[in-house]
Amino acid sequence: MRVFLIFFIIVFINAKNFEIIKYVTNDKPKIVMEYQTLPKKISSLILKDTKLISHYSIDIKNKISNIKQSVNIKEYNGYNYLLRVNYKNKSLYVILYDLLKHKIILNKIYKIATFNIYPFMVHSLSYDINEKLSFAPIDWIKRKIIYSIYMAPKEQSIFLADITLTYRKKLISGGLNIFPKWANKEQTEIYYTKLQNQPVLYKYNIYTGKKRRILSSSGMLIVSDVKKNNLLLTLAIDDQPDIYLYNLDNKSLKRLTDFKGIDVNGQFYGDDKIVFISDRLGYPNVYQKDLANGIVSKIIYHGKNHISVSTHQNNVVISSRETHKEFGNNTFNLLLLNKNNDFVKRLTFKGKNMLPIFTNDGSTILFIKEYKFNSKLGIIRLKENKIFYFKISRKIQSFDF
């Protein structure tokens, strides 16, 4: 805890060259949706997904007797596509017509084992619609989120959710379970730290419930990034947090930073570099280290108060502390930068906006907005210039996507 308190004593940002995010409305393909039978929860989430994707619009019009009945093109003037759906026996039957080309472009059945996982079924449908309309891929909408929340004093549980937090399932409870991190691309296993007499790192299968002890530490122990069988860890040996590389195959632990201060939040950056946050110049900033030659350098030269970081190619998003109140709440905003120029875009404007994560394609940023004792999952669609929030009635400690 002392390390975290020291880490958050940082300096007010001196910001310039900001670009304020603008909200614009563009012409979008219009879809009219008809249904045979459809639970309201499913139709509501279809509309929520549509807003989140921001590539097309959907209007729900009327109930029909059969989704396979003939289509009278003249009835759908002003629309580009006709979406017909029917839910029956835990299956969603879908037909998507191109009204301009007079043909079916999607005819598919989505099946689920139990109704409570319907959000993932809807997200798969939204993904397919987006693909059939030839927009940029949105693989992120089908991914799962793992997060740890504060339940009570000395009690933090880990939950599984969809991207809209509509589906939520408690996976791990009892004691302090923190810093969950996906262990593989398939999202079948996670790493997490359990605080016992000392921190212990576990690997946990979300489907079987089986867990395996990886290692323990006398101080801080956090998995900050995963690349195949290599883990980037933040370990505090002798009260000094540094970045380590742990190989699961041979169980080797290699120290990557050795600074008499704070080095945290290491992330793989390309094939031979890592990025991390360090206070080696007296204030926390984003650095990179070339693992081949060992050279450490600042990755950006904007601001002096970086709390967390995520990268995608040359783009960097940081959470930066912008006020320094001794008492009361401080403001943390997200800034989007390019490490090769002075471009800066402010993505948020007030509150505590923390823990940004780029999606794999770099099109979207997920983050946590804290308000009092509650949290919101924020989703920023960069090209579309839109921000969406999904509430949770407790405070999120950490999450991964």
- Per-residue pLDDT tens for 200-234? 999 999 999 999 999 999 889 999 999 989 999 99
**Mean pLDDT lowest among 23-32, 156-165, 283-292, 382-391:** 23-32
Cβ-Cβ contacts under 8 Å for 364 (sequence gap 6 or more): 140, 358, 379, 380, 381, 382
**pLDDT computed for residue 7 by the predictor:** 34
Cβ-Cβ contacts under 8 Å for 276 (sequence gap 6 or more): 243, 257, 263, 264, 265, 266, 267, 286, 287, 288, 289, 309
In this prediction, residue 16 has a pLDDT band, given cuts at 50, 70 and 90, of very low
**pLDDT computed for residue 132 by the predictor:** 98
**pLDDT computed for residue 373 by the predictor:** 76
**pLDDT computed for residue 121 by the predictor:** 98
In this prediction, residue 18 has a pLDDT band, given cuts at 50, 70 and 90, of very low
**pLDDT computed for residue 327 by the predictor:** 59
Distance (Å, whole) CA 398 – CA 190: 13
- Position 9 pLDDT exceeds 50: no
22 vs 68: which has the higher pLDDT:
68
DSSP calls for 268-314: EETTTEEEEEE-TTSS-EEEEEETTT--EEES--S-S-EEEEEEETT
Q: Which domains does the chain have, with CATH numbers?
A: 1-25+300-401 (2.40.128), 30-132 (3.40.50)
Mean pLDDT, the chain, integer: 89
